[in-house]
A and B are shown apart, each in its own frame.
Chain A
Amino acid sequence: MADNVTPRVRVPRDAAAGETITIKTLISHPMESGQRKDSDGNTIPRSIINRFTCEFNGESVMEMILEPAISTNPFIEFQAIVPESGTFAFTWYDDDGSVYEESKDIAVS
C-alpha cells in the first residue's frame, strides 16, 4: 500500500459550450517499478498505479494504461470537450487494489 496518495487535478471553473479545455492531473505515488533492488540485493516488488480514467457526466474522455516506465508521481495532461455543465470524474487504480477518486465541476455559461 502506497502511503499518502493524494490526487491533484486542475480543471477550468467554466467554459463555453463545446469548448475544448486542458486538464492536468498529478498524483503522489512512488510508482515502484519492480526493477530496483534494496541494500540487501532483494528485488523491491512492483507497486504502481496501472490505470487512469477520466469521464465527464458518465461519458469517457480518455483512459490511460500505465506501465512501470511512468515516473514517480504520475503527471497526465490531456484535453476534453465540454458539451454542457457537469462533473469530471477522475479515477486512479493501484496495483494493490486501492482506487483513488477525484471530481471537478465545470459550469457552461
Chain B
Amino acid sequence: ATALPMSARAAIEDAIAAFTDGAEMAESGITLTAPEIAENGNTVPIEVSAPGAASIIILAAGNPTPGVATFNFGPLAGAQAASTRMRLAGTQDVVAIAKMEDGSYAQARQEVKVTIGGCGG
C-alpha cells in the first residue's frame, strides 16, 4: 500500500462508506484488471467484472478526489463488466467495489505504479 496524506485516506474511506453504508465486503466475486505499471497516468486502462452485481464503483485512493466511475447495470447488460480509461495522479491503490443483487458487497484492490502523473498538478 501507498502512504497517503490523512485527508486522502479519509476521502476514500468516506466514499467507500457512502457506497456500502459500512457493510462488510467480501474479498472475492469481483475482478479488477489494471496494469501493474502505467507509464502515463493520463490514460490508464481498467476493467471491472463482478457477475451478479447491480452496480460497481471504482475509486482511486491517491487522486485529489477518489471517485472514478460508477456502473449501474440494467436488465439487458450482457455481463456485469465494463472497461474504461482513467487518470491517476501518481502511484496508488485502485479500489473496485461491487454491490451484488442480493445486497452484499465485494471489493478488489490493486496498486498501480505511475511513472508520469495524470492530474496536471
Q: How many Å lie between the Cα of A60 and that of B72 in the bound state? A: 9
Query: Binding site of B, secondary structure by majority: helix, strand, loop or mixed?
Result: strand
* Cβ-defined partner of A80 (8 Å) among B77, B85, B121: B77
Contact call A36/B120, Cβ cutoff below 8 A: yes
Chain B nearest CB, measured from A28 CB (Å) = 13
B28 at the interface (CB under 8 A from A): no
Q: Is the C-beta of B82 less than 8 angstroms from some C-beta in chain A?
A: yes
Other-chain residue from A33, A55, A64 in contact with B82 (beta carbon distance below 8 A): A64
- Chain A, 3-15, contact with B by CB distance < 8 Å: what is the 0/1 string? 0000000000000
CA gap between A33 and B78 in the complex, in Å: 31
- Report the count of interface residues on A (CB-CB < 8 A): 32
Docked pose: A71 CA to B83 CA in angstroms: 12
Q: How far is the CB of A45 from chain B (nearest CB, A)?
A: 13
Cβ of A46 to closest chain B Cβ, rounded Å: 10
A81→B72 contact, CB < 8 A: no
Instruction: Indicate whether A72 sits within 8 Å of B65 (C-beta atoms), given known contacts A60-B75, A60-B76, A78-B77.
Output: no
Q: Are B74 and A33 in contact (CB under 8 A)?
A: no
The 9 closest A-B pairs by CB, nearest first: A60-B74, A79-B78, A20-B78, A36-B120, A67-B67, A65-B70, A77-B83, A71-B85, A69-B68
* Residues in B lying within 8 Å of A, measured CB to CB: 42-44, 60, 63-65, 67-79, 81-88, 118-121
Chain A residues within 8 Å of B, Cβ to Cβ: 20-22, 33, 35-37, 55-56, 59-72, 74-81, 83
User: 18 other contacts beyond A62-B73, A71-B84, with CB at 8 A cut-off?
Assistant: A35-B64, A35-B119, A36-B119, A61-B73, A62-B82, A64-B72, A64-B84, A65-B70, A68-B67, A68-B87, A69-B87, A71-B85, A75-B84, A76-B83, A76-B84, A77-B82, A77-B84, A79-B81
Q: List 11 A-B contacts (CB under 8 A).
A: A61-B76, A64-B69, A65-B72, A68-B65, A69-B69, A69-B87, A69-B88, A70-B84, A71-B85, A77-B84, A79-B77
